[in-house]
Structure 1
Amino acid sequence: MKLRQARIHDPAAAERSRAAPLFYYDSVLGSDAAKLLPAEYYATGQDMALVTVLGSCVAACLRDPVLGLGGMNHFMLPDGDASQGEPARYGSHAMELLINALLKQGARRERLEAKVFGGGNVLQGFVSQPVGTRNAQFVRAYLKAERIPVLAEDLGGIHPRKVCFFPVSGRVLVKRLPHAHDAEVRAEERAYVERLRATPVAGEVELF
């Protein structure tokens, strides 16, 4: 796959690029894209795709439909102490970080709408209550409390997912990955879990 730097048109580009460092051209989607890993988020009004792969993690895709401005986050756990660094690994902080990034670019909080994905229970034995279930419960409760309507969701189950979100149009593509991909997703998420343990801290969806 040919990589290239995404086209940047605004002063906040440097700050946002730290949140989603991998920009590339996706030949399958036919679009510039940014790939998000755990604890990353990105907001943009560019005509591009935001792409991530989820196991037990959840990605919230938020959008201001009037401006065609949107963003995505990718969080690992519902909540925790953000003072230890990487606050976007926790849903309670990842949601506010993404919302604030959108507001800085002109979005209105009362216009925001959401599509949410992930929360698959692919990490057996991590906690007594599966972390995927906890993440899914958190994002639903958060958006309800903030009165942000959920237009579409694909949460829970046992499969990892690949999600592609187009902020300008609001279109989302979701692929439920076969279990052949489980080892790769579990390895990525378990590596992230080990990092956490090493630093103790408190509508419409198209399948493709």
Structure 2
Amino acid sequence: MNAAAVPAQSSDAATLLAAPSRHFYFDTTFRRRAVKILPGEFHVSTDDTLLVTVLGSCVAACIRDRVRGVGGMNHFMLPARKDAGVLSASMRYGTYAMEMLINQLYRAGARREQLEIKVFGGAAVLPGMSTIDVGERNSRFVLDYLREEGFPVAAQDLGDVHPRKVYFSPASGDIMVRRLRASALPEDLAREASYARQLDNTASRQAIGGGLQLF
């Protein structure tokens, strides 16, 4: 397993949004080594480690160099702010999460012209968010970001009201998505709701023009 190193960040927002996952386990369904990606995390692999995440309103991008077999997954959410546009203060959080994953893939040997990108999540499952459809905003953001950056989307499964469990094998490119009942995932959805509150608290402390350094 080869996880790309991440430079130290001074911003609390950057730390919240771009932590490499360390949640390794043995997946009994597929009988192989796996790593679980939690909200605000990403992982890059150059071997056959399975990347796994559970998504409610969050979005995951599964990105793979289809020639070299290096690939990675992130798991991110935008703060529940109402400003719009890919370069707005709110959208910069998602932009940072995407840039971190893509740049770490490049460092691991991936080539831009060989990237295959598939995106998942963005369901309407978070309680107490009825006035702001977080899942829809996350879904719209990731598609807008990829279009603005000139990356084609090979596949997508976004929106609806069902949480998803995503299994991604960077080595082969295989992805399996299971739609789940929200009642079956109280711990995962509680973790996502807590993450959303942390994002909003962090966003409220950030000046509109500062906080995150994009590259």
Does the CA-based 8 Å contact 1:68-1:168 persist in structure 2? yes
How far apart, CA to CA, are the structure 2 residues paired with 1:186 and 1:14? 28
Amino acid at match of 1:49: L
**What does residue 47 of structure 1 align with?**
48
Q: How many residues align?
A: 184
TM-score (norm 2): 0.78
1:90 match: secondary structure = helix
How far apart, CA to CA, are the structure 1 residues paired with 2:4 and 2:116? 23
Is residue 2:143 matched to residue 1:140?
Answer: yes
Q: Which has the higher contact order (CA 8 A, sep 6+)?
A: 2
Shift of 1:79: 9.4
TM-score (norm 1): 0.80
**What does residue 186 of structure 2 align with?**
183
Is residue 2:121 matched to residue 1:118?
Answer: yes
Does the CA-based 8 Å contact 1:20-1:36 persist in structure 2? yes
> Equivalent pairs: percent with the same residue?
52
Amino acid at match of 2:187: E
Shift of 1:182: 5.1
Gaps of 5+ in 2: 8-18, 82-91, 209-215
Does the CA-based 8 Å contact 2:4-2:107 persist in structure 1? no
Shift of 1:159: 0.6
How far apart, CA to CA, are the structure 2 residues paired with 1:31 and 1:175? 18
Does the CA-based 8 Å contact 2:62-2:71 persist in structure 1? yes
Does the CA-based 8 Å contact 1:114-1:152 persist in structure 2? yes
Aligned partner of 2:133 among 118, 125, 130: 130
1:185 match: secondary structure = helix
**What does residue 84 of structure 1 align with?**
none
**What does residue 172 of structure 2 align with?**
169
Shift of 1:14: 5.6
How far apart, CA to CA, are the structure 2 residues paired with 1:14 and 1:138? 26
